[in-house]
Amino acid sequence: MVRKVLLDGNEAAAHIAYRLSDVIAIYPITPSSPMGEWADQWASEQLPNLWGTVPSVTEMQSEAGAAATIHGALQTGALAATFTASQGLLLMLPNMFKIAGELTATVFHVSARTVATHALSIFGDQGDVMAARTTGFAMLASGSVQEVMDLALVAHAASLESRVPFLHFFDGFRTSHEVMKIDQVADEHILAMIDERLVREHRARALNPDRPVLRGSAQNPDVFFQAREAVNRFYLACPQIVQRTMDRFGELTGRRYRLFDYFGSPDAQRVIVMMGSGAETVHETVEHLMKAGERVGLLRVRLYRPFDAAAFVAALPKSAKVVAVLDRTKEPGASGEPLYQDVLTSLLEQQVAGRGFTVLPRVIGGRYGLSSKEFTPAMAKGVFDEMKKPDPGNHFTVGIEDDVTHTSVAYDPALDIEADDVFRGLFFGLGADGTVGANKNTVKIIGEETEQFAQGYFVYDSKKSGSVTISHLRFSKRPIRSTYLIRRANFVACHQQTFIDRIEMLEQAAPGGTFLLNTQASAGDVWGTLPREVRRELLNKRLRFYVIDAYKVARDSGLGGRINSIMQTCFFAISGLLPREEAVARIKDAIRKTYGSKGEAVVAKNCAAVDRTLENLFEVPLPSSAGNGRVRPPVVPAEAPAMVRDVLGEIIAGRGDGLPVSAMPVDGTFPTATARWEKRNIALEIPVWDGDVCIQCNKCALVCPHAAIRPKVYPPEHLAGAPPTYKSVEARGGEFKGLRYTLQVAPEDCTGCGLCVEFCPAKNKRQTALKAINMAPQPPLRPAEQENYRFFLDIPDFDRAALKLGSVKGSQFLLPLFEYSGACAGCGETPYLKLMSQLFGDRAVIANATGCSSIYGGNLPTTPWAQNAAGRGPTWSNSLFEDAAEFGLGFRLAIDKQQEFAAHLLDRLRGTLNAELVAAILGADQSDEAGIAAQRARVEQLKAALADAETLEARNLLSVADSLVRRSVWIVGGDGWAYDIGYGGLDHVLASGHDVNVLVLDTEVYSNTGGQMSKATPRGAVAKFAAGGKPADKKDLGLMAMAYGNVYVASVAMGANDNHTVQAFAEAESFPGPSLIIAYSHCIAHGINMRLGLNQQKLAVDCGHWMLYRYDPRRAARGENPLELDSHAPKVPLEKYAESENRFQMLLKSEPERARRLLLDAQQTAVRRYSEYARRAGQTPPG
Amino acid sequence: MRTIPDLTTNYLGLRLKNPLIAGASPLCRDLDQARRLEDAGIAALVPSSLFQEEIEHELSAHNHFEQLGAHSYAEALSYAPGLNYTPGRPQEYANLIATLKAAVEVPVIGSLNGSTLGGWIDYAKLIEQAGADALELNIYVVATDPQQSGADLERRYIDILSAVKATVSIPVALKLAPYFSSLAHFAREVDRRGVDGLILFNRFYQPDIDLEQLQVVADLVPSASHEMRLPLRWIAILDPLVDASLAATTGIYAPEDVLKLVMVGADAVMLCAVLFREGPAAVTRILEGMRTWMHDHEYEGVHQMQGSMNHCCCSDPAAFERANYLRALHSFA
């Protein structure tokens, strides 16, 4: 009996790899991380492989480490596998050459992802696997979730037989994350596919001191070449072995594959050659075109390496006149993309050899689908149409508008070939409202409980807070091959009322379809709330329109803000996919399955919500005309800069696919200060200031992760023309005598996290529940506060040279140059970045490691890095995950060199320039803000003097003159970078002695990829890849850096001591050598109430888990102890801290004895570590 | 030759070697402590309660944090490892009961603490299966809801009791709060529904104010000796009215305290604060004091004095009633 399962491509690949491996080495990278997570989870559940033992699953410090570990495990006889993508695969390349050169059987499963070039992209294309095609790995491509499971097994079996290692790949996200109903390969079939004799032979080749060998020798010009050629016969035999393996698999399962699978007219004249998920779309298109009588076909490439030219040519219909080869990659400067070149070479070689075609077909090549760009039947037809032309374009692109080099093939975007009987649903939800989870559940219900095929694909936002999710669900009686987004939906659901104004969703509704809206408006009133565009779509397409107030139902049912079960019930109730009663029963079953382990109360609440839903779901009769509704507001205001309005605004509006090549920068360079134009209005509540209670400490502004609450002091005359609700009070403090003080909230940028309110120390004496800032609903406050905020921003900032920048209060009067990021609401990292931007942003150059900070800092459409009124601000770049330290060192070296060159030229031009000015510039003291401001003025004077100069030296000086103002180089990254993948580089840069500032935003876990363990993860914490709790202590990065003696090191936690943080930043930046700040950053991955994040920071310090210290080599030079220990000895038990975070709680609850043992050890470490630091700091260690 | 007074008593159908029970507290979590208490003469142990709130909070917290940030961002579809999660606390408690049972010979009484009906009651079965000799049901309600009448609350107690009695076959005692309008009536009601024992009284955490932080703080203040008088009065009143065993808790420090409580009808007494203060030695001290007093006053055993001064048997029943108040006032004056 075939078991039908619903899973995604990652799980399908991991399922096979896990069953066939002894050793798995992993490292997180999107979109392959879930494969490793599955393996780790199964191992923690003691699930055995097919040989009855639990595979050893080990997380490494990088993909390079994972590949080397696999290499080692293979060399000592294990069956070993790994998973990766993109840059991760690139880091594995050196070992892949070795593994292949040593003819070692293994499979690397790759969810193919774009390689970073002008920008990073987490999405899918085959650029990464194409970079691996010279390694000697065989390469097998899967195009659907079913194929992933099937061909994963073929890869493992064929690798063992051929001794050629395999790279099994499938498209990132489109296949890795698509949930499909597939046939699971039964364990007995997996066993039947593996020849135990080959496994034993693999083991017999292992390094074994009982029969010692030497492998991995160094060879010389005399024999290396011959030895390299010795592998040939294995590669020659490999394709036949793969075909035999596929045939054996077909006999067992009935699913048959060929090295090259042809589908289409037997006498096709136009054939597309391609691999991956796009082939499914072309398959659908070919079916459609054949029905119209067109002679077209598709040749799917399964085994890409070794490329069997004879098999390829044999599989291609000899009737073909034009062959279009589609590559999902770009190789700039090449004579064509890789598959295109292979096809050309094969055809020609075979013809020369007298096989295949007597007259070669015309071969054209094109690129499609880079970075998960949609590839639709319309685009496939566009290619077929191009092939009809007498002189079809070559080296074309499809799916974009290339209005610069005119490569793009034309297509009709309106073409829709999906059959009417395929149910297509589109669901627009918030990340936090459970829409995706509910839709995955729906796919499961339909897939498991009916005969229908089911497909779920989910599109996520580029923001981490207030993110929009779009679920694409298809159900059909026939297998689903549509590997593209739904463009014509029978059912559209809007789970958040505010989306109506922001997202063009009904444009994607099919005529006669259904629209479901979650709204507070009643069925009678809702029409009046809709914008005109939505009304028109409803009427023109004659949609059936339903409304529900899901949040009210959720509240009444005790579910808080979780509306997933409610909206899911609505969907079943009105979609007609299942009889209503049956659907309700199935949803309740699903609720029991999903929440059964969470307790009866959770189940009961959700089931009650299901019943209430049906009573609150109403159909809205449509009026005969649209009436005079409001028009949708513009996405960005008309006064925004052109780039923001015309390019970034289109991306914000969800119309980025329509932007032509000419709209894009040629080298990935974008303006900063753009987040301010993207008003997201995601906060349900915002802080409201009570000036009478406020003590003007500015702590709220310091800790705001989004720079959405700002203080300002200014002369009273600036209040002229203030909006009626604008608030100000007399400023406190001698230096601000006679001035006014305002604390203003940015109502549309605040995320409502509440950190500011929690951190506010001023309580209202009349009502102690209130403070100087208190949360209140945003919508009624928005109009007035918008006006107030605009007025506030127009008031000039206080002179930064006159502020006490070493204090919290003083620093917060500085303009934040990091604002309104898309980081999680309540993020623990961004307050540090904001502080850095305030103190040094106007002269900062930032090298940012890949991770959360590079995503909320640099993910399009907008960036939070901002500019001051003079147009100065942080300039930012991301190179890779592993190299931020070296990248930043490069900045420093270049800036220093330019400075040196500028000084040299100044000296040479001394005679032609104002000598006094030259002397002042060269001798400038830039140790404080006043000195820097003075130097800036001098440099401006110099530049003015040089403006008209014509000598080479003068022109050169003008080009480097800016570097005469002190630059602040910042290297920023998370603990995954600093402790793990980038540690080697970081260590080297710290040892170099150069003046760089390193900020480690330590969340103690890989936050960006979803919470995998890093070496910063504390002992006893549960994380992905450490499901049983991390057994080892956190690495002491600060101590390692201090060992150099010439590195400034600070360990800070803003929530524990905010002044200490400000002081450390100021000291680090002023230190004329390498500085390292390790900043405790609470994180959503800790499993905490993010509103209390700063309290957790304090608790972390109080229990000794985190210490506050500053190590300043300048003190040593003065004969003082360089280390100052700034936190007190542990004063609360570490268990109290652990009990307040779910990362520890999970283990305390699931394995209490192990958890207590680990925490006891952690407690002892904390005490011992504190004593050790106290001793180093010259203090008496606590008794 | 002096005869040694017989201290044995019957509580919840269990024959105890004396009336002293180590009441629900973390002391009994520690095996060494439990053994030392047994060596000192304690007659039964009650490890600190398994709390409804603890179980439900654990479940809902896990649910909450599993969902927190999930399915929002393409690179991090979740932030916690997908574990097949079952709440660990009930099993941990059951393991503790089983371990204690293996370590000591005296009866071990499980304790379950909650305030509403719900799935947590199923854990009573787990405690029984772990080997507990009896179950103490601690219903902990601070009646703050003005919509809820006293009768509603009493109904809730009875419903929870009935649900637990239907779940387990070991004896079940009910630990009560002192705030009933008509405790005698309520005690009779639960007695009729088969409660095996009543423990008087539950000791609520009383809030305090932190003046510096302007925050309400909660901590446990150890009971004082005079607080014993409240259970003393009510045991005296209830002893003639109910068949269930009666146990006293709160403010028991001296042998005399135990003797008085036994005389008004207590079958057992729960020691807690005194054990924290003095350790197991307190048990030895109290038992020795009881024996000396009983010997000096020629009592053969506890059974002889049990209930001898209850509401019916004492010479001055009014002393347990309102008259007591007037008399106290007069004597003060």
CATH number, domain containing residue A438:
3.40.920.10
Least CA distance to B75: which residue of chain A? A1009
Chain B hits for A436, CB-CB cut-off 8 Å, are 71
Give the torsion sign (CA, A514, A517, A521, A522): positive
Q: B residues 49-68 near A, CB within 8 Å? A: 55-56, 58-63, 65, 67-68
More confident residue, B330 or A1181: A1181
Select from A470, A496, A1150 the residue whose CB has the most chain B CBs within 10 Å, as the one to mutate to test that interface.
Answer: A1150
Mark whether A905 and A957 lie in a shared domain.
Answer: yes
Cβ neighbours of residue A10 closer than 8 Å, sequence gap 6 or more: A31, A32, A34, A35, A38, A83, A111, A176, A177
Helix (H) or strand (E) holding A538: helix A532-540
CB contact under 8 A, B74 and A460: yes
Would the CB atoms of A1084 and B79 count as touching at under 8 Å? yes
Residue A182, in any domain of the structure: yes
Residues A553 and A458 in one domain: yes
Asked if residue A511 and residue A528 are part of one domain, the reply reads yes
**Residue type (1 letter), A813:** F
Half-sphere exposure of A114 (CA within 13 A, CB side): 18
Is residue B328 scored above 60 in pLDDT?
Answer: no
How far apart, in Å, are the Cα atoms of A482 and each of A456, A513, A903, A1029, B62?
Answer: 11, 20, 63, 41, 37
Q: Is the dihedral of CA B301, B303, B307, B308 positive or negative?
A: negative
CA-nearest residue to B63 within chain A is A598
Domain boundary among A814, A840, A862: A814
Shared domain for A383 and A430, answered yes or no, is no
Give the integer Cα–Cα distance in Å for A588 and A605. Answer: 11
CB-CB under 8 Å, B71 with A458: yes
Q: Is A381 contained in some domain? A: yes
- A1087 CB neighbours in chain B (<8 A) are 65, 68, 79-80
Q: Are residues A728 and A807 in the same domain?
A: yes
Q: Are A769 and A701 in a shared domain?
A: yes
Give the minimum alpha-carbon distance from A1145 to chain B in angstroms, rounded to a whole number: 9
Name residues of chain A where pLDDT drops below 50.
Answer: none
How far apart (Å, rounded) are the C-alpha atoms in residues A774 and A451?
54
From the candidate CATH numbers 3.40.50.720, 3.40.50.1820, 3.20.20.70, 3.90.100.10, the one assigned to the domain spanning B9-332: 3.20.20.70
User: Which residue numbers of A are catalytic?
Assistant: 30, 63, 113, 1008
Q: What is the pLDDT of residue A783?
A: 96
Looking at A363, A382, A398, the residue that finishes a domain is A398
| A81: nearest Cα among A263, A92, A130, A881 | A92
- Mark whether A1010 and A953 lie in a shared domain: no
Residue in A165, A166, A157 with CA at minimum distance from that of residue A185: A157
Task: Please list every residue in chain B whose beta carbon sits closer than 8 Å to the beta carbon of residue A460.
Answer: 71-74
Q: Which of A597, A824, A1148 comes nearest B86 by C-beta?
A: A597
Contacts of B214 in chain A (CB under 8 A): 763, 768
Task: Flag whether pLDDT at B324 surpasses 60.
Answer: no
Shortest Cα–Cα distance, A22 to chain B (Å): 22
C-alpha torsion angle, residues A333, A334, A339, A342 (rounded to 10) = 180
For the stretch A308-354, pLDDT in tens is 999 999 999 999 999 999 999 999 999 999 999 999 999 999 999 99
Mean pLDDT of the residues in chain A: 95
- Nearest-Cα distance to chain A for B314, in Å, is 49
* CA angle (B183 as vertex; B178, B189 as ends), nearest 5: 130
Residue A265 and residue A239 in one domain: no
In a domain, A981, yes or no: no
pLDDT at B104 over 60: yes
In a domain, A579, yes or no: yes
Q: Is B209 on the interface with A (CB under 8 A)?
A: no
Facing B87 at nearest CB: one of A595, A1085, A1149: A1149
Does residue A681 belong to any structural domain of this protein? yes
Picking from A122, A599, A1142, the nearest residue to B119 by CB comes out as: A599
How many domains, in total, are found in chain A?
6
Set of chain A residues whose Cβ sits within 8 Å of the Cβ of B82? 37, 41
**Facing residue for B75 by CB, picked from A30, A435, A1022:** A30
Residues linked to residue A776 through DSSP beta bridges, in sequence order: A686
Torsion over CA of A241, A247, A248 and A254, rounded to 10 degrees? Answer: 160
Return the pLDDT at B207: 85
In tens, the pLDDT along B277-307 reads 999 999 999 999 999 999 999 999 999 999 9
Judged by a CB distance cut-off of 8 A, whether residue B148 touches chain A is no
Do A460 and A600 lie in a common domain? yes
Query: Which chain B residues are within 8 Å of A1025, Cβ to Cβ?
Result: 81
Last residue of a domain, one of A913, A942, A964: A964
The pLDDT of residue A253 is 97
Prediction ipTM score: 0.90
Distance CA A148, CA A175 (A): 8
**A1104–chain B nearest CA distance, Å:** 23
Chain A contact present for B118, CB below 8 A: yes
Cβ-defined contact of B80 to A460 (cutoff 8 Å):
no
CB distance A598–B60 less than 8 Å?
yes
Same domain, A169 and A282: no
What CATH number has the domain bearing residue A352? 3.40.50.920
- pLDDT tens for residues B176-196? 988 888 999 999 999 999 999
What CA–CA distances, in Å, run from A366 to A348, A392, A407?
19, 11, 9
Query: Residue B333: what pLDDT?
Result: 41
**pLDDT, tens digit (0-9, with 9 covering 90-100), for A812-849:** 999 999 999 999 999 999 999 999 999 999 999 999 99
Measured in angstroms, the CA of A1014 and the nearest CA of chain B are apart by: 14
Q: Which of A45, A435, A1152 sits opposite B84 (nearest CB)?
A: A45
pLDDT at B30: 84
CATH code (residue A755):
3.30.70.20
CA dihedral defined by A147, A152, A155, A158, rounded to 10 degrees? -90
**Encoding tokens for residue A39?**
């393996």
User: Whole domain around residue A474: which residue ranges?
Assistant: 424-620
Residues in CB range of B128: below 8 A, 6 or more apart: B110, B135, B167, B168, B169, B170
Distance from CA of B271 to the nearest CA of A (A): 27
Cα distances (angstroms) measured from residue A1092 to each of A703, A949, B214: 12, 59, 18
Residue A443 has a CB neighbour count (10 Å cut-off) of 23
Q: Is residue A656 part of a domain?
A: no
Residue A245 shares a structural domain with residue A304: no
CB contact under 8 A, A1010 and B76: yes
- Pair A1086, A1050 in one domain: yes
Question: Could you tell me the CATH number of the domain that includes residue A1129?
Answer: 3.40.50.970
Express each pLDDT in A534-573 by its tens digit. Answer: 999 999 999 999 999 999 999 888 887 788 889 999 999 9
Separation between Cα atoms, residue A111 and residue A96, nearest integer Å: 17
